[in-house]
Amino acid sequence: MVSEAPANSPKIPPISGIAPGIFDPVISILKASSAPIRRRKLLEELERRGHRISLAGLNRVLQHCAQSGLTVESPEGVRLRAGRG
């Protein structure tokens, strides 16, 4: 069953190798943080919320988010691009 994204959720086309429904939790975690978040912390928070994903899977999600212009990365971690939250 495919669920519809909330009206205010960014529209991201699915790509191969990314679990359905993982974008919303990742974006939600990034929106809730005022500072960049490191990948390991993202993995921990996803697991706490019931979304178990590998580091490789998270890397694919974050790569797609960056290519879609949703996120930016720095040595401090990943954050939403300004104006996206």
Give the model's pLDDT for residue 18.
80
Bridge-based pairing state of the strands 71-74 and 77-80 = antiparallel
Tokens, residue 29: 């975690």
Confidence of residue 84 (pLDDT cuts 50, 70, 90): low
State percent of the chain over pLDDT 90. Answer: 61
* Higher-pLDDT residue of 29, 19: 29
Q: 50 Cβ partners below 8 Å, 6+ apart?
A: none
26 sits in which H/E element: helix 23-32
Whether 17 and 60 have beta carbons less than 8 Å apart is answered as yes
Answering whether pTM is above 0.85, one says no
Q: 9 Cβ partners below 8 Å, 6+ apart?
A: 23, 24, 27
